[in-house]
Amino acid sequence: MRSKFLPESFPKQLELILRIFTSGRRSCRRGLAGIFTLGALATYIMISVTLRLNPQRTLPFEEDGPDTDADDAPVQRWYLTNASMQHVSPVQQDEVWHLWPKMQPNSDRIENQLLYRPKKKPTRIKLILSTERGLERPGHGRSCFVKKKCLVNHCKITYDWTKSAEADAILFKNNAPSEIHYGSTRPPDQVWILSLLESPHHTSEFSRLYGRINWTATYRLDSELVTPYGKWVVYDPKVLAKPQALDYGGRKAGKKKVAWFVSNCQTANKRLEYARELAEYIEVDIYGSCGSLKCPKKGKCGGKLLREEYKFYLSFENSNCKDYITEKLWFALENDALPVVMGPLRTDYEFVAPHKSFIHVQDFASPKDLADYLLRLDANDTEYNQYFQWKGTGCSTPTT
């Protein structure tokens, strides 16, 4: 295994991603047409896995550590909610090339990373120091890895900066605290990881970290650790659609049409302008500070409202950036509303969403054309229900 696949391709890749996030924004488009969260825990899990892979970090116990009883037997896909039916072969140490960007074209590598199982048991617990604040923290110590039944759980988390010299990895989670002395010495084999959730349009400067980060952990598929907002895993790649017992269109017949829960009104992709134009041709109920409707129940726009009343939901992202697909998509899918998406290109959505599960604004010349199509689906349950045949063909990663 050693460094055969690892070192060379990284620095270039990393620099590119950092630049995109911190200044370039070339991955984002402007203009009109531009479940499920893996969230924080996934980042840690990926880190726990990849720390094991870093040759410089793992050499001591790969050479001297005891053999374990790890075998090639299939394991459960422990990260799925209904894992009992999902047995797959773990990725073994000699197959680490499955885990890195560039090595696996057209793959997000997420499952490979989550299924990685080292052949030898680590002899030491690795320490991850995180900059995460307050409520976002997934817990202290080893518990979250153990609770989740991760295949690699020889890691513990701390938030205590006095431990910075002992840490095997430092995770900069959407921030780079100013109290840290970035110029001071750091252990030569300590891995620094930058984890980002927002699009380049909403990411602040990280110039403090320039030239110091080893890995990125973001929703972008070309990050070292891919940690998107949601991950759909099909049970059987040959079965992408199946007959449904539920009449998704029929049960909402005669009710409401398009809903949107939104609070950020000014965005580079002008999604609000698009929605307002759409509303000239089909009923669009805009809840929250950008619209006239108030969310019921103490300002919370819940999925129940969507599930019971609306056929369509505007899953409009605040930025049209490569791979930037957030909980807005999963929220609609989870609540039996057909998502109308605006964000990255259709191909990006096709890669992450269930088969035929959304409508993309990119496919329509104007909001009016889109409205015409939505009205047609609204009037024809057979056509509307086609968009729900993915139900039951796979499983999403659990919400954290």
Write out the residues near ligand NAG by the rule CB under 6 A.
54, 56, 82, 85, 189, 191, 211-212, 214, 380, 382-383
* Among 111, 198, 277, 327, the one annotated catalytic: 198
Q: How far is the CB of 383 from ligand NAG (least distance, A)?
A: 5
Known catalytic membership, residue 317:
no
How far apart (Å, rounded) are the C-alpha atoms in residues 104 and 106?
A: 6
Q: How far is the CB of 102 from ligand NAG (least distance, A)?
A: 17
Q: How far is the CB of 78 from ligand NAG (least distance, A)?
A: 14
Which of 255, 261, 252 is closest to 299 using CA atoms? Answer: 261
Which CB atom, from 56 or from 89, has the smaller least distance to ligand NAG?
56
For the CA atoms of 327, 330, 336, 338, the dihedral, rounded to the nearest 10 degrees, stands at 90
How far apart (Å, rounded) are the C-alpha atoms in residues 47 and 26?
A: 27
Which of 51, 70, 56 is closest to 119 using CA atoms? Answer: 70
How far apart (Å, rounded) are the C-alpha atoms in residues 319 and 389?
A: 29
Which of 127, 101, 305, 114 is closest to 223 using CA atoms? Answer: 101
Q: Looking at the DSSP assignment, which residues form a beta bridge with residue 141?
A: 157
Query: Strand 256-261 and strand 284-287: pairing?
Result: parallel
Q: How far is the CB of 130 from ligand NAG (least distance, A)?
A: 17
Please give the backbone phi and psi of residue 392, each rounded to the nearest 5 degrees, phi first: 85, 5
How far apart (Å, rounded) are the C-alpha atoms in residues 31 and 320?
A: 9
How far apart (Å, rounded) are the C-alpha atoms in residues 308 and 296?
A: 14
Please give the backbone phi and psi of residue 173, each rounded to the nearest 5 degrees, phi first: -100, 95
Q: How far is the CB of 55 from ligand NAG (least distance, A)?
A: 9
Which of 67, 122, 112 is closest to 89 using CA atoms? Answer: 112
Which CB atom, from 54 or from 218, has the smaller least distance to ligand NAG?
54
Q: How far is the CB of 350 from ligand NAG (least distance, A)?
A: 22
Which CB atom, from 193 or from 284, has the smaller least distance to ligand NAG?
193
Q: Are 45 and 156 in contact (CB under 8 A)?
A: no
Q: How far is the CB of 191 from ligand NAG (least distance, A)?
A: 5
Please give the backbone phi and psi of residue 284, each rounded to the nearest 5 degrees, phi first: -125, 115
Which CB atom, from 105 or from 211, has the smaller least distance to ligand NAG?
211
How far apart (Å, rounded) are the C-alpha atoms in residues 44 and 159?
A: 13
Please give the backbone phi and psi of residue 287, each rounded to the nearest 5 degrees, phi first: -100, 145
How far apart (Å, rounded) are the C-alpha atoms in residues 386 and 320?
A: 27
Which of 52, 46, 6, 348 is closest to 218 using CA atoms? Answer: 46
Q: How far is the CB of 81 from ligand NAG (least distance, A)?
A: 7
Which CB atom, from 133 or from 376, has the smaller least distance to ligand NAG?
376
How far apart (Å, rounded) are the C-alpha atoms in residues 313 and 341?
A: 9
Q: Which residues are catalytic?
A: 198
